[in-house]
Structure 1
Amino acid sequence: MTTAAPKKGPNIAAIVIIAVAVAINLLVARLMANWSYSWFPPQASSAAPYVDDLFALETGIGSFIFFGCTGFMGWVLLFNRAGKYDESDGAPIEGNTKLEVTWTIIPLVTVFVIATYSMNVNMKLQTLGPKHKYAIGSDPTALMEIDPIADVGPIDVIARQWSWEFIYPDGVRSSELHLPVDQRVNFRLMSEDVLHSFYVPAFRLKQDIIPGSIISYSLTPTQEGRFRLRDAMFSGAYFSQNQTNVIVESEQAYADWLKAAAGQPLQPGLDPGRALYDRRIARGDKGWATVPPAPAPMVNDPGDPSIPHDA
């Protein structure tokens, strides 16, 4: 008569080690998530806190997975590695249903959490309005309805290779974008040649500008200062120079600037790619083929690019 082997109890030591490791990993992931807030420029729009919170969540989840996987591999290498001359296969784990269900459900839930949070953030931003296609040579602004909850606008944003032009409702034109603080501003984004991108890192917002389409876009700046507008879409040889300042100021200062700019005659605006193109021509027009920069836009206020920006 044989007796059944006694059942083994749970490995308390292993459970304690895993629990401590998970707790430490959670702490490190939380620290990484908090640290991620310092990686960005100042929050200068109403959208920035939502975007930063989403990024912190993704940083925390990614850190937990990264340190968990690398920590597990380090533990195995230190304490469970095979002997020097052991070339045998490891124990087979094929058919472990519990393990397969676990490593399927955990990533699925993680992706759904991030997706749900991302959709909620996108709903709160309420930045992107309608988009209309238009025929070249026609007036695209006639197609676009105004954002009904905007306080200012619409301001026409015209992107070119390689310069920016901003046209305000009263007809004032500028090479630097002026905005009143804590006011929702509506833009009409247009391109006269190729793909561009309206990107202000301090606002945490980016919108591609598509030729042949006019796009309604709105945002609310929340901090006064000078912030950098960058063309984040590769649009040719000098697209990295296609930058200008966004000047966020008080409502009174914004009104005063509009009044002063309206009294100035039109003059050539900023043309940041021209100097590099002229230098190329002076050297014999060598290198990869490119197109000459568009003529500088005629504006009332070209701005002063020598003034340092905050972010």
Structure 2
Amino acid sequence: MLRIIEYLVFAIGAAAIIVVSYLMGQWSYSWLPVEASTDAQRIDDLFCFLVTLGSVIFFGVIGMILFSLIAYRAPKGDYSEGHPIRGDWKLEVTWTAIPTLLVLIIVGYSFIIYQKMDIAGPTRVLGELPVGIQRANAQTINQNIADTELIEVISQQWDWTFRYPKQNVVSKELHLPSNQRVRLVLQSKDVLHGFYVPEFRIKQDIIPNRNINFQFIPTRVGKYQLHDSQFSGTYFAVMQADVYVDTPQDYVRWLAQAANHPSNTLSLAASEEAQPPHQVFKSNWYTVLPAKPKEVDSSNFALRNFTNDQ
């Protein structure tokens, strides 16, 4: 009878863990910014899957610990040794097979998401795809290469510049047409930078002396923020730029306006550098002044240098 109760408690606990983990996974969607590209939903689904699986592992381990503390608690005054489990091949196979299976599930699902993604960037850098992986073909609108909007993204410490070669427009703001494939040519003039817009769920390293093609389809009209995801120097944290996803009509209108009135936005890094130094708070922890350097007699200094040279 006691064994039946243990099995029943274990089954109820397992069901509760599955339900709570599923709810945690669904809740994880609210942790992320809005979805503004065709690939954002796929990335969010993968994140939800990982949160759900991680919750199952976390609550499962905690549940087993609590179950063991309650169900197999030694009686008061019992100091005898526990049941020996060394050399149990069934247990060893179990704790080896389960993590292996979980890793294979994560790899398989991640690979499926990778195949469905419309981003093309790292393949241009490597020159070839990994063995056994086929190129991911886009399955959304605007498949014609002629319809792809080409934009050059030039990064340098600590500023972004965007050039539209077809319209001969140079801007400090990145404007993108909605529901149309965009191909960014990422360039760096100095060090390693990173193109990262959280709402697009895309991030691409920018390597100096290389042109990296990067494609995606923005879908949500609005204003977003471009960040440098790499530590590119002192002011990398303020290396930001405004990103606008416009309707096709507004995008054409902005291109015509930008061609006649180029933007002269001040770099945030330059603004930060121009700020006078200020003290956020006074800690009353006074710094010890450095000791005064000792005076060196010129004759002794010359003699010591002569001895060292010998």
TM-score, normalization by structure 2: 0.78
1:189 aligns with 2:195: no
Secondary structure (helix, strand or coil) at the match of 2:215 reads strand
Higher relative contact order (CA 8 A, sep 6+): 1
For structure 1, which segment, 90-99 or 103-112, has the greater mean C-alpha deviation from structure 2 after superposition? Answer: 90-99
Q: 1:122 aligns with which of 79, 96, 114?
A: 114
Q: 1:89, CA displacement in angstroms?
A: 4.1
What is the count of residue pairs matched by the alignment? 261
For residues 8-47 of structure 1, what are the structure 2 equivalents within 5 Å? 11-47=3-39
Could you say if the C-alpha distance between residues 193 and 87 of structure 1 is closer, same or farther in structure 2, counting changes exceeding 3 Å? farther
Tell me the amino acid that sits aligned with residue 274 of structure 2: D
Q: 1:151 aligns with which of 144, 147, 153?
A: 147
Flag as ranges the 4+ runs of structure 1 deviating above 2 A. Answer: 74-90, 147-153, 266-270, 278-283
Tell me the amino acid that sits aligned with residue 161 of structure 1: Q
Residue segments in structure 1 that go unaligned for 5+ positions in a row: 1-8, 134-146, 284-311
1:269 equivalent in structure 2:
265
Q: 1:276, CA displacement in angstroms?
A: 1.8
* Structure 1: distance between partners of 2:77 and 2:162: 72
Identity %: 43
Q: Deviations over 1:93-121 (max 9, x none)?
A: 12222222222111111111111111111
Q: Deviations over 1:39-98 (max 9, x none)?
A: 011111000000000000000000010011112212333443445665554321122222
RMSD of the TM alignment (CA)?
2.4
2:125 equivalent in structure 1:
131
1:138 equivalent in structure 2:
none
Could you say if the C-alpha distance between residues 34 and 181 of structure 1 is closer, same or farther in structure 2, counting changes exceeding 3 Å? same
* Structure 1: distance between partners of 2:80 and 2:92: 24
From the two aligned structures, give the one with the greater helix fraction. 2
1:241 equivalent in structure 2:
238
1:165/1:173 contact within 8 Å kept: yes
Residue segments in structure 2 that go unaligned for 5+ positions in a row: 128-142, 280-310
1:163/1:270 contact within 8 Å kept: no
Secondary structure (helix, strand or coil) at the match of 1:119 reads helix
1:102 equivalent in structure 2:
94
TM-score, normalization by structure 1: 0.78
1:150/1:185 contact within 8 Å kept: no
Q: 1:132, CA displacement in angstroms?
A: 7.9
Q: Deviations over 1:166-212 (max 9, x none)?
A: 00122101111000100010000011111111001001111111112
Q: Deviations over 1:260-282 (max 9, x none)?
A: 11112x56433111122223689
Secondary structure (helix, strand or coil) at the match of 1:28 reads helix
Q: Deviations over 1:210-261 (max 9, x none)?
A: 1121100001001100011111111111111011111001001000100111
Larger radius of gyration: 2
